[in-house]
């Protein structure tokens, strides 16, 4: 293996490589309507994207006692529509292709791993990734470092050769706690202002982030 290939690049999904906003919003509407509750404003839902589904529903007013019923209904609908209403972000495929030339790749997401793999296979980029860590694979999701550390354990790599690319401070804080390098991207759900509080390197998208990593 070459020296450059000893690098590890971990990607977040929503807001970093893919845009599934429409599918997420529609699935939240479906769950709230199923239980005859008023659906929160879309802006409030979008503000929670990146957190695990149970945390999102609780933040939107669902009780802890009922939250898994809502999550179940959400997933029931999401799986039906996710392929048709999820898209690769501009230059995301190119970012993954370029990253694969200089590093081994992984996905670290709070989305369900099963659905994430199905989406990436449909988009014909799953084969670039050696590992995918989703919500069901860990006890403590981002911003806890557990998902990143689990990915690294599967890749048998130490932290000083690893980069995390993500669009929120959850990604950046998880990377910091895991003692890995990180780059924030502004193409997703975290604003430049928000990312400036937690990221030392900020680019407009994953492709530019990969280009920055190639210089190290």
Catalytically active residues, by annotation: 12
| Tokens read off for 1 | 């293996």
CA-based R_g, the chain, Å:
17
The span from the first CA to the last CA of the chain, in angstroms, equals: 17
SS3 assignment for the chain = CCCHHHEEEEECCECCCEECHHHHHHHHHHHHHHCCCCCCCHHHHHCCECECHHHHHHHCCCCCCCHHHHHHHHHHHHHHHCCCCCEECCCHHHHHHHHHHHEEEEEECCCCHHHHHHHHHHCCCHHHEEEEECHHHCCCCCCCCHHHHHHHHHHCCCHHHEEEEECCHHHHHHHHHHCCEEEEECCCCCCHHHHCCCCCCEECCHHHHHHHHHCC
């Amino acid at each position: 293996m070459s020296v450059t290939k000893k690098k590890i690049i971990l990607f977040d999904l929503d807001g970093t490589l893919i845009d599934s906003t429409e599918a997420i919003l529609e699935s939240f509407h479906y769950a709230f309507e199923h239980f005859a509750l008023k659906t929160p404003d879309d802006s409030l839902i979008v503000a929670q994207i990146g957190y695990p589904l149970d945390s999102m529903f609780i933040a939107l007013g669902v009780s802890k006692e009922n939250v898994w019923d809502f999550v179940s209904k959400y997933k029931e609908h999401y799986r039906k529509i996710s392929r048709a209403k999820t898209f690769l972000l501009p230059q995301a495929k190119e970012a993954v292709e370029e990253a694969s030339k200089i590093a081994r790749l992984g996905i670290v997401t709070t989305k369900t791993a099963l659905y994430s793999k199905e989406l990436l296979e449909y988009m014909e980029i799953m084969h670039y990734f050696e590992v995918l860590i989703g919500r069901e694979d860990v006890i403590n999701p981002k911003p806890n470092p557990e998902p990143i550390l689990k990915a690294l354990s599967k890749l048998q790599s130490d932290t000083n050769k690893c980069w995390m690319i993500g669009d929120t401070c959850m990604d950046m804080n998880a990377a910091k706690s895991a003692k890995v390098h990180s780059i924030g991207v502004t193409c997703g759900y975290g604003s430049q202002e928000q990312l400036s509080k937690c990221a030392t390197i900020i680019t407009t998208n994953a492709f530019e982030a990969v280009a920055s990593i190639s210089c190290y």
